[in-house]
Amino acid sequence: MANREYNVLFLCTGNSARSIMAECAIGRWGRGKFKGYSAGSHPKGAIHPMTLELLKELNYDTSNLRCKSWDEFARADSPPLDFVFTVCDRAAAEQCPLWPGQPITAHWGAPDPVAFQGTDEERRRFFFRVYSELENRIKIFTSLRIEALDSFALEQRVREIGRIKLPDGRER
């Protein structure tokens, strides 16, 4: 793969939290090298309020964020995708469309912050924990020397990133 900007799509079912967080994080950590997108198999129609709150607290511009269907990225006129990462188990199990560009795919599952039950403060902390997990993976991914890896080695590396250990020792 040549030195250029790579298109990365993050998928989740609802496209209201995890995939949106990942889209923002790759825009920050991969600026100039990666262009991030997010979508859902069954988009909720609105980004979860705690997702927007967290991203604003982390100084992200949220004005252009929106829930999108993954169908937007399966059309012939869509940007050719280099990487597609599922960030929820449900989306990973679904039959994905055929993506233009024959991207490298991997599963980077993270817990669903929207489903977490607790006080508002506990929920905020959980949203931040999920964001941090995705951000850590993205930092590792954006530090790869993609141009130095063949497709097979690159696919292996992005899949390994999805299996990194969490701080509490659990493997995702």
What is the per-residue pLDDT for 102?
A: 83
What is the per-residue pLDDT for 101?
A: 74
Q: How many CB atoms lie within 10 A of CB 81?
A: 21
Residues pairing with 35 in the sheet: 7
What is the per-residue pLDDT for 170?
A: 47
What is the per-residue pLDDT for 165?
A: 61
For 6-161, CATH number out of 3.40.50.2300, 1.10.357.10, 3.60.40.10, 3.30.465.10 equals 3.40.50.2300
What is the per-residue pLDDT for 151?
A: 87
What residues are labeled active site? 12, 88, 96
What is the per-residue pLDDT for 143?
A: 94
- pLDDT in tens for each of the 172 residues of the chain? 556 899 999 999 999 999 999 999 999 999 999 999 999 999 999 999 999 999 999 999 999 999 999 999 988 888 899 999 999 876 555 666 777 778 999 999 999 999 999 999 999 999 999 999 999 999 999 999 988 888 889 999 999 999 876 555 444 4
Tokens of 167: 């701080």
End-to-end CA distance of the chain: 28
CA-based torsion, 54, 57, 58, 62: positive or negative: positive
For the chain, domain boundaries: 6-161
Tokens of 120: 């508002």
* Gap between the Cα atoms of 30 and 9, Å rounded: 13
Angle between helices 18-29 and 49-57 in degrees, nearest 10: 20
Encode 47-66: b = buried (16+ Cβ within 10 Å), e = exposed.
bbebbbebbeeeebeeeebe
